Each structure stands twice: as C-alpha cells, then as structure tokens.
C-alpha cells in the first residue's frame, strides 16, 4: 500500500518539526513552546491552504533544508539529525552569512516559523498583545483596549 503523504511531504514534515523544536524550545521563562502551540500541525495546515505555487515553494524550502544541510553545514547529517541547539545555531548562522542565498534561507525559515508561532492564542496571551479596535470577523481573537493609543506618550516632531 502506498504512503498517502509520500517521501517529499514526510521529508518536509520532519524538517518543519526540526525547525520548530530548534526555534521555539521548552523554556524556563514561561513562553509557550512549539508543542504547546501545536506548531508542526498548524504549519502543515497553513501550507495546505496556500495556492499551488506557494504551497510547492514552501514545501521545497523545508525539503531543501533537510536534504541540503550536509552541504550547507559541512557535516554529513540531515538538518533533523542535529541537536535542537545546533539547528538554531545553523539558522542564525545562515541569517548572518555573507552569501546572500544562505541569508534568504535563514530569513525564510525564521519568518515562516515566527509567523506561525506568533499567531497562536497562547503566545498572544503570553505577550499580553491587544487590538485597539474590535474586529469581529478576525478568527484570532485578541483582547481589545480601545484607549491604548490615547495613553501613548506624545512625541514632538
């Protein structure tokens, strides 16, 4: 019987899990981690909702990450086989690298995973985020503080 997900999707999912674990690990300061925010599943759902071109591009990002890391890290290991700390170091290193395509890789990973992480209600609550006006149709419900902008300090230009 054939695997319904297939090799490429499984590879992308292993990579998404590895990035999630590295970028949003368990911590002692109370911030939700990748498991509490269900980051892997939610990222898969997000990718599945994208138009076909963006869907393929984002899957390719994670597949490339998993399979090209032996060349990019100069170690004969897939991205997911490194420790979470080492994976985080690799992403940070690529973001600061002199070679622009490696910066794009690191920035794309950081942007995608950060967007998914910060869209979870427990993260919103942890950061004490709020909206300044009601948006009833927004599925992500933030607390509303209508007077917040009035309390900002006035800056003379």
**pTM of the entire structure?**
0.83
Which pLDDT score, from 0 to 100, does residue 11 have? Answer: 95
Q: How far apart are CA 117 and CA 39, in angstroms?
A: 6
Q: What does the pLDDT read at residue 157?
A: 61
Confidence band, pLDDT 50/70/90 cuts, at residue 3: low
- CA gap 134, 146 in Å, rounded: 8
Res 154 pLDDT > 70? yes
CA proximity to 141, closest of 129, 153, 151: 129
Pick from 3-12, 33-42, 132-141, 142-151 the range whose average pLDDT is largest: 33-42
Most confident of 2-11, 66-75, 146-155: 66-75
Q: Per residue in 37-65, pLDDT tens?
A: 999 999 999 999 999 999 999 999 999 99
Query: What is the DSSP-derived secondary structure letter of residue 154?
Result: P
Q: Which pLDDT belongs to residue 39?
A: 96
Tokens for 25? 């690990």
Residue 97 has pLDDT above 90, yes or no: yes
Q: Measure the CA–CA gap between 37 and 44, rounded to whole angstroms.
A: 13
């Amino acid at each position: 019987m054939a695997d319904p997900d297939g090799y490429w999707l499984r590879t992308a999912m292993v990579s998404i899990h590895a990035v999630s674990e590295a970028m949003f690990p368990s911590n002692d300061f109370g911030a939700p981690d990748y498991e509490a925010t269900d980051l892997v599943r939610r990222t898969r759902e997000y990718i599945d909702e994208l138009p076909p071109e963006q869907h393929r591009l984002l899957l390719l990002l994670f597949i490339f990450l998993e399979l090209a890391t032996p060349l990019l890290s100069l170690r004969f290991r897939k991205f997911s086989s490194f420790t979470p700390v080492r994976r985080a170091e690799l992403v940070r290193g690529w973001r600061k690298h002199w070679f622009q395509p490696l910066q794009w890789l690191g920035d794309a990973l950081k942007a995608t995973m950060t967007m998914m992480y910060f869209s979870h209600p427990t993260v919103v609550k942890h950061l004490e985020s709020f909206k300044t006006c009601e948006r009833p149709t927004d599925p992500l419900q933030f607390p509303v503080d209508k007077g917040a902008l009035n309390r900002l300090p006035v800056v003379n230009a």
